[in-house]
Amino acid sequence: MKQNNATSGLLATTLIFLLALQAIEAHASHPATKQVAPKLIVGITVDQLRTDFINALQGKLTSGGFRRLLGQSLMFEQVLYNCDMPDATAAMAVLATGVEPFYNGVTGQNTFDAQQLRRQSILFDKDVTGTFSSLQVSPKALLSTTLGDELKIASEGTSRIYSIAPDAETAIIGAGHMGDCALWFDEKEAKWAGSSYYREFPKYFVKKNDQQPLSVHLGSLRWEPMVKSDDRLEIMPYSPISNGFSHDFIQYGKHAYSWIKTSPVINDAIVELARLSMRDGKIGKGKNTDMLQLTLYAGTYQHAAPEAYAEELQDIYLRLDKSLNDLLNYIDAEVGLSNTFIYVNGTGQVATPSSEIANLSQGIFTASRCTSLLNSYLISLYGQGNWVAGYHDNQIYLAHDFIARQNIKLSEIQQAASEFVMMFSGVADVVTQHQILHNVANERIENLRKIYNRKTGGDLVITLQPGWAFKEKDNSPTQQQLRHDIAPGPAIFFFPGITPKRITAPINAKAIAPTLARLIRIRAPSGCTTAPVSLNQ
């Protein structure tokens, strides 16, 4: 009996072993589906894109543009920057690097060179030349790697990175340090331009400039509503409706190409160049993952207050929707949406002139008068000299080299200057560079620190009282203060296998780059310290 039990136990053990072996062999012959890297990554940054405007226009949108993106994606309804982004350039840099301007070096589109006493691009580089442009710009001032750079490193240089934008700065930030091509529209030359920093300026872009320049069509280029508005505007229901609008761009003379950059014309042109990149440049058809960075526009016409061009603003959204529909269809035909990872971001804020209200108009702050009187005051304290270098973007720049030769402590003269400027009518607050860098003591200074960079920032940062206008010089035109209003811009993740979902909680702009990096299995940009967000929750 004991022998029979032993035999039965041995047979059972052998049977279990054979069944387990069979299961292992079956699993080996049918392995789990391997996650395949996309053939193409498309990053779309839309300047001043608003989620609430998209929602308001649902009834007028095509099925293949925003509605396709929103219906088949995971979307955060708001990207939160946690500080005032002065323009699309600064916002784009945060999205690309995962760190704020204090660390990535890009505080806005332009800066002031206190040694050369001139305004210049934040990305100015004297060692490069422009292609179809007089601009000398490169990514050398960008102090962190970008998502595209990390893709290039991960692929050992085989991925191709193209960036196309209305302006040089956003194009270059999209291409990063290791990109292949950065393309922007040069207003002076009326052509698509690039930088000698990048190794490619493809022949099909040259052909586009030679055979189909925008200047040839300028005389017939007219912008009218795509869809006639009904009794009200969906995006701005309190704005009165006129009989439509019509803009012949040639009438604006030297400003024509600047205003084109604030119209749907620029979006259509960028989408057309994206198609050329895929068709003629074979972007998305190589052995490794390629990246295409596009910057589009959804702000107000001529950067005016929204109520001044409300009908135009609604038309920009409707035409942008059509452009996205065309782009997605073309990607599907050329590369396949099943092989493509697409993400779309807004820039988080809208910067527009404050509306003039007669009884709220307080006065005009003149920058040249302020700097002249400040220099005279510093002469009375420290002796003859040119103590003030200049004024730019609500910041006063002191002459650092001259101050150093006088053996005066910079923080001392900054404090004296701030106390004097604080006495000017219209000035609400003055913060010194020393306070920003060393005395993070309150919320206001902490927020200033995020958008400040010690290499390009001024010595004094001035805030004007509400209702005060601004002039560069006595004979300069008066400018209304810019309002930096929150624009609830979305973050959209559109790729195969994603579970469609809308998330009302905001996503930190600094978390987007590391989140994308984890999704495509590469390192986050070098300056990034923010944790990625899980998209599976």
Summarised one tens digit per residue, pLDDT across range 126-158 is: 999 999 999 999 999 999 999 999 999 999 999
Place of tokens 């065309």: 326
Strand partners, 352: 483
Most trustworthy range by pLDDT among 25-34, 73-82, 85-94, 169-178: 169-178
Give the integer Cα–Cα distance in Å for 146 and 179: 10
Strand partners, 192: 185
Summarised one tens digit per residue, pLDDT across range 281-323 is: 999 999 999 999 999 999 999 988 888 899 999 999 999 999 9
φ, ψ dihedrals at 429, nearest 5°? -160, 150
368 membership: H or E segment, kind and range: helix 367-382
What pLDDT does residue 484 have?
65
Quick check: 24 pLDDT over 50? no
Torsion sign across C-alpha atoms 61, 66, 72, 76: negative
Q: Are 433 and 412 in contact (CB under 8 A)?
A: no
Give one DSSP letter per residue of 309-337, joined into a string. GHHHHHHHHHHHHHHHHHHHHHHHHHT-G
Place of tokens 């400039």: 209
What pLDDT does residue 272 have?
97
Q: Are 97 and 145 in contact (CB under 8 A)?
A: yes
Q: Are 289 and 40 in contact (CB under 8 A)?
A: yes
Torsion sign across C-alpha atoms 181, 258, 83, 418: positive
Structure tokens that stand for 180 in this block: 């292949």
Give the integer Cα–Cα distance in Å for 63 and 86: 34
482: number of CA atoms within 13 Å, CB side? 13
Q: Are 77 and 488 in contact (CB under 8 A)?
A: yes
Give the integer Cα–Cα distance in Å for 456 and 140: 14
How far apart, in Å, do the first and last CA atoms of the chain sit? Answer: 58
- Cα 216-218-223 angle, rounded to 5 deg: 140
CA distances from 455 to 25, 102, 119, 273, 437 (A): 63, 10, 14, 35, 12
Give the integer Cα–Cα distance in Å for 149 and 96: 10
Please provide the average confidence, as pLDDT, over all residues in the chain.
Answer: 89
Structure tokens that stand for 98 in this block: 């995962």
Give the integer Cα–Cα distance in Å for 405 and 422: 27
Q: Which of 45-49, 207-211, 439-443, 473-477 has the lowest mean pLDDT?
A: 439-443
Rg for the chain (alpha carbons), in Å?
28
Q: Are 115 and 130 in contact (CB under 8 A)?
A: no
9: number of CA atoms within 13 Å, CB side? 6
Quick check: 46 pLDDT over 60? yes
Q: In terms of pLDDT, which residue wins out, 254 or 52?
A: 52
Summarised one tens digit per residue, pLDDT across range 502-512 is: 999 999 999 99
Q: Could you write out the three-class secondary structure of 380-401?
A: HHHCCCCCEEEEECCEEEECHH
CA distances from 470 to 363, 410, 425 (A): 9, 28, 12
Torsion sign across C-alpha atoms 54, 57, 60, 63: positive
Quick check: 30 pLDDT over 80? no
Q: In the predicted model, what is the mean pLDDT of residues 204-220?
A: 90
Give the integer Cα–Cα distance in Å for 264 and 317: 8
Residues 6+ apart with CB under 8 A from 120: 110, 111, 112, 113
Q: How confident is the model at residue 51 (pLDDT cuts 50, 70, 90)?
A: very high
- Cα 82-482-226 angle, rounded to 5 deg: 95
Give the integer Cα–Cα distance in Å for 448 and 439: 11
What pLDDT does residue 397 have?
97
Q: Are 295 and 43 in contact (CB under 8 A)?
A: no
Q: In terms of pLDDT, which residue wins out, 420 or 237?
A: 420
260 membership: H or E segment, kind and range: helix 256-260
Q: Which of 82-86, 208-212, 369-373, 479-483 has the lowest mean pLDDT?
A: 479-483
Q: In the predicted model, what is the mean pLDDT of residues 157-181?
A: 98
Give one DSSP letter per residue of 261-286, joined into a string. TTSHHHHHHHHHHHHHHHHTS-TT-S
Torsion sign across C-alpha atoms 393, 488, 271, 291: positive
Q: Are 380 and 79 in contact (CB under 8 A)?
A: no
What pLDDT does residue 355 have?
58
Structure tokens that stand for 358 in this block: 């007669």
Percent share of the chain, pLDDT over 70: 89
Give the integer Cα–Cα distance in Å for 535 and 515: 8
Give one DSSP letter per residue of 209-256, joined into a string. HHHS-HHHHGGG-EE--SS---SS-SS-TTSPP-S---EEGGGGGGGH
Structure tokens that stand for 99 in this block: 């760190």
Q: Which of 14-18, 408-412, 465-469, 532-536 has the lowest mean pLDDT?
A: 14-18
188: number of CA atoms within 13 Å, CB side? 7
Percent share of the chain, pLDDT over 90: 72
Give the integer Cα–Cα distance in Å for 242 and 72: 36
Quick check: 358 pLDDT over 90? no
What pLDDT does residue 12 have?
45
Quick check: 482 pLDDT over 70? no
What pLDDT does residue 354 have?
59
What pLDDT does residue 254 have?
84
